Amino acid sequence: MKTQVKLLLTVQSVMMLVFLALVLLLQLGDWISALTGCLASLVPSIYFSIRMLRQADNNEAAAWLSYAYRSEIAKWVMAGIIFAVAFTSGYPWDPMILFIGYLLVQVSGMFVPLIQKGI
């Protein structure tokens, strides 16, 4: 499980760096919006991963699933708080770049099983 989590976080981090590089090099928009969008996805994912790794040895299915649900809810609340703080800060965000960064990092986690299988 630890290798899968490390691979997930690595893939998400690489996706964040690639997106930030594209935004900076091609001047697609505000790089702070890109960074904030990516971090709004990556930071809660790191939190969730750390919480779930603590329960990796728990063999009681009901307790593990309950812990997973609580951690997932906390992950979404964290992302919501990051967005709320961002949009109430008064900074002139580029919402398109912000949400593209968020979605790219979020969706990149779906490719981890394919990468792990070597496809």
pLDDT tens digit sequence for 72-91: 899 999 999 999 999 999 89
More confidently predicted of 99 and 114: 99
When pLDDT is averaged across residues 56-79 and rounded to a whole number, the result is 85
Average of per-residue pLDDT across 18-39: 91
Domain count for the chain:
1
Per-residue pLDDT tens digits for 3-24: 888 888 898 999 999 999 999 9
Segment 104-108 shows an average pLDDT of 92
Domain coverage including residue 52: 2-117
Distance CA 23, CA 116 (A): 28
In the prediction, which pLDDT does 3 show?
81
pTM, whole model, 2 decimals?
0.84
Q: What is the pLDDT of residue 109?
A: 82
C-alpha–C-alpha distance, residues 22 and 118, integer Å: 26
Q: What sign does the CA torsion over 60, 63, 69, 75 have?
A: negative
Q: What is the pLDDT of residue 1?
A: 67
> CA gyration radius for the chain?
16
Among 12, 18, 2, which residue's Cα sits nearest to residue 115? 12
Are 29 and 96 spatial neighbours (Cβ–Cβ below 8 Å)? yes
> Which of helix, strand or coil describes residue 38?
helix
